[in-house]
Every structure is written in C-alpha cells, then in structure tokens.
C-alpha cells in the first residue's frame, strides 16, 4: 500500500494529542479515532495511486468519500461503524482545515449512512431484584456469591459501569454515602450509594478471606488478585438462564435499569446524566425513549379500547 506522507502522519498525531488534552479522551476512544483516520488515509493512498499528503487531502471530493464508504461496506461494516469512522474523519478534517487554512468541504458535507439507534435494554424492576437474588446461588463459596451480589448491586444501585465498580479499592471501604468515581476519559463524578449497596459490600467484606490492603482491589478473584469482569458476566449469565431472562440481561443492563427506573420514578434527566457520567445529555435522553415505550406498552395493555379490540 502506498504510504501516507510524514507531514500528514504528524498532523494526525498532533490532532490526537490535542483531542486528548482538551477532551480527556479515554485510551480506547483515542485508539479507535487513530485507526479510523489512518485507515481512511491508507485507503486514499491506495485509491489515488500515489503518496497521500496534505495536497491530496485538500483535494478530496465527495466521490472519494463515497468510494471509501463503499469499500467499508464490502468489508461488511455496518452503518453504525461507518458513521463512527466518518465522524472521526470529520473531526480531523475540521481540525486540519483550521490549522492549514482551508475548508474540507467534501469531508464535512459527506452524509453518514442512516442507522436505527439502539435503545438501552433495561430489565423490569422485579426481574432486576430476582436476578440479584439468583446470584447468591451461583457459587459454592459464600464469599464469592456475596462478592458477585455486591458488584451487581453497585451497578444497579449506583448506575456504575462494571469497570468503575471494579476500580474501587480497599481504601474506599467501608463505602460512604457518596463515592467519587473516575469514569471514561478520566472524568470524575460524585455518586450517592444506596443502603442496599453499602450493606451488600460490607457483607462481602465480612466473608472475604483475603487481608485488607488499602491500595489493593476491593473486589478479589479466588486467588486474591483483582476480580476479572468476565467472572461477573459468567455469574450473571448463569443467573439469567436459571430465571429464563433474555441474553440482554448483562452487567451493563443493570446500569440501564438504574437510569430507566430512576426516570420512571420522576428523576430529573440532567441529574441522571450527572449520575451516569454522560458527557452529552443526548446520550441520557435515550432513556426517555425507553420509558415512553414502556408507558405505551402499559397503555396498550390497560386501555379499555385496546382491551375491547383484543376480545
């Protein structure tokens, strides 16, 4: 494949560095954006048959962009993935245009393929409670069962990501009524901890066979090291199969359930945004669609006219 010019490679590195400094991007996001933009430049080099430099980038046409997206389609990428790659490319083009003094019209005007946004898939409240209860039966070791219950109760009771729950250390114990969580991109937020979650963590600590170390992980594996999130996923998989719950009943679904149930109880959308650590309110607004869908299902089931139509 024909190489990308050193000047353009340097530009990509500078853009990534500026994104990281200004937005505190998580490492996974940083890597994905780098792969997306460098992947496009690699395609462009091959497509144009010559070294891809600043001049080639400035001369991009909408035909080039369509050829790139068609190539991604042939590689069986879905519309959502293509839209993400185009978003990364637009971000880079906007930054590069401002630095070099040109308008990247073709890139900025390119339309992403349409896709159906995936709504969060929370569990009903009763299923959530039953799932947490079923976790107590998934291990012969009482402390392991207590550990899994504590982790999942934190996910549901505080709206944590599993990585956030497993990042807690023994220095955080016993859990206070509020804890400080470092989320995606290194962003911190303060989260209240419900009594049920604090009690579940304390029950686990009372049974945990490993000595407390202030800087050690709060949640331990059976050999004493940090708990692997895959073990929590496996415990939830066993519990949901026992209860006949769908495959969408994952650790992350507990976070979705927290937000949806809080919203249904009258929670403020912006407060929920802060609790979840969402950078954009639009991300949190997905839960309003879930709640509206649930209300519509209730309406269709309970409304006299709907009931008479079914009889």
Q: Which of the residues 33, 156, 204, 287 is marked catalytic? A: 287
Catalytic site residue 252? yes
End-to-end CA distance of the chain: 66
What is each CA distance from 14 to 10, 39, 95, 96, 108, in whole angstroms? 6, 17, 10, 10, 20
Q: 67 Cβ partners below 8 Å, 6+ apart? A: 47
Catalytic site residue 287? yes
Q: 20 Cβ partners below 8 Å, 6+ apart? A: 30
Q: Which CATH class, in words, describes the domain spanning 6-109?
A: mainly alpha
Token pair of 78, please? 């879905």
Residue holding tokens 């209730």?
A: 298
Q: Which of the residues 147, 161, 198, 240 is marked catalytic? A: 161
Catalytic site residue 303? no
**Residue-wise pLDDT tens digits, 111-128:** 887 755 555 577 888 999
Residue holding tokens 């900025």?
A: 108
* Residue 62, H or E segment: helix 62-74
**Residue-wise pLDDT tens digits, 211-230:** 877 678 999 999 999 999 99
CB atoms within 10 A of CB 309: 9
Q: Which of the residues 19, 85, 256, 278 is marked catalytic? A: 278
Which of these, 267, 274, 271, 273, lies nearest to 285 by C-alpha position? 273
Catalytic site residue 184? yes
Phi (first) and psi of residue 102, to 5 degrees: -145, 165
Quick one: pLDDT at residue 121?
75
CB 118 within 8 A of CB 253: no
Q: What percent of the chain has pLDDT over 90?
A: 32
CATH 1.10.150-classified regions of the chain? 6-109
What is each CA distance from 82 to 72, 106, 133, in whole angstroms? 7, 16, 41
Plot region of 217 (φ>0 → left; ψ -120 to 50 → alpha; else → beta): beta
Catalytic site residue 161? yes
Quick one: pLDDT at residue 311?
46
Cis preceding linkage at 215, omega within 30: no
Question: What stretches of the chain show up as alpha helix (H) in DSSP?
Answer: 6-23, 27-48, 54-58, 62-74, 79-100, 105-109, 125-134, 142-158, 162-166, 195-207, 229-243, 251-264, 269-276, 281-284, 286-302, 304-310
Quick one: pLDDT at residue 234?
94
We find that the CATH architecture of domain 125-300 is Orthogonal Bundle (1.10)
Catalytic site residue 230? no
Give the relative orientation of helices 125-134 and 142-158 as an angle to the nearest 10 degrees.
Answer: 160
**CA 117, CA 285: separation in Å to the nearest integer?**
12
The pTM of this model reads 0.58
Q: Which of the residues 85, 198, 240, 255 is marked catalytic? A: 255
Q: Provide DSSP, 124-165.
A: PHHHHHHHHHHGGGS-SSHHHHHHHHHHHHHHHHH---HHHH
Instruction: Decide if pLDDT at 37 tops 50.
Output: yes
Token pair of 45, please? 């080099």
Burial 8-30, CB ≥16 within 10 A → b, else e: beebbeebbeebbeeeebeeebb
CATH 1.10.443.10-classified regions of the chain? 125-300
**CA 24, CA 184: separation in Å to the nearest integer?**
8
Instruction: Decide if pLDDT at 190 tops 50.
Output: yes
Residues paired with 52 in a beta bridge:
4
Q: Which of the residues 47, 58, 94, 184 is marked catalytic? A: 184
Residues paired with 220 in a beta bridge:
226
**Residue-wise pLDDT tens digits, 239-288:** 999 999 988 888 988 888 887 777 766 666 666 666 666 555 455 555 55
Which of these, 155, 133, 136, lies nearest to 251 by C-alpha position? 155
Q: Which of the residues 30, 58, 90, 252 is marked catalytic? A: 252
């Amino acid at each position: 494949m024909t190489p990308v010019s050193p000047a353009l490679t340097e530009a990509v590195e500078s853009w990534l560095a500026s994104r990281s400094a200004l937005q505190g991007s998580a490492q996974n996001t940083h890597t994905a954006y780098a792969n997306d933009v460098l992947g496009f430049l690699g395609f462009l080099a091959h497509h144009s048959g010559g070294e891809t430099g600043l001049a080639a980038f400035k001369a991009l046409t909408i035909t080039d962009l369509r050829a790139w997206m068609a190539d991604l389609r042939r590689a069986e990428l879905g519309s959502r993935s293509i839209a993400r790659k185009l978003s990364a490319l637009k971000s880079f083009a906007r930054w590069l245009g401002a630095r070099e003094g040109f308008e990247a019209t073709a890139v900025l005007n390119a339309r992403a393929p349409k896709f159906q946004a995936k709504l969060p898939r929370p569990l009903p409240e009763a299923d959530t409670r039953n799932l947490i209860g079923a976790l107590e039966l998934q291990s012969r070791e009482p402390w392991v069962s207590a550990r899994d219950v504590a982790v999942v109760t934190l996910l549901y009771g505080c709206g944590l990501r599993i990585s956030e729950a497993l990042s807690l250390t023994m220095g955080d114990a016993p859990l206070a009524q509020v804890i400080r969580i470092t989320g995606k991109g290194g962003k911190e937020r303060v989260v209240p901890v419900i009594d049920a979650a604090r009690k579940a963590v304390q029950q686990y600590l009372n049974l945990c066979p490993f000595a407390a170390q202030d800087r050690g992980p709060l949640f331990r594996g059976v050999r004493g090291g940090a708990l692997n999130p895959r073990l929590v996923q496996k415990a939830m998989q066993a519990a949901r199969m026992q209860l006949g719950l769908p495959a969408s009943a994952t650790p992350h679904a507990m976070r979705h359930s927290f937000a949806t149930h809080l919203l249904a109880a009258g929670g403020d959308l912006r407060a929920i945004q802060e609790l979840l650590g969402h950078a954009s309110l639009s991300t949190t607004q997905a839960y309003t669609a879930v709640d509206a869908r649930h209300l519509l299902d209730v309406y269709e089931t309970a409304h006299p006219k709907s009931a008479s139509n079914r009889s």
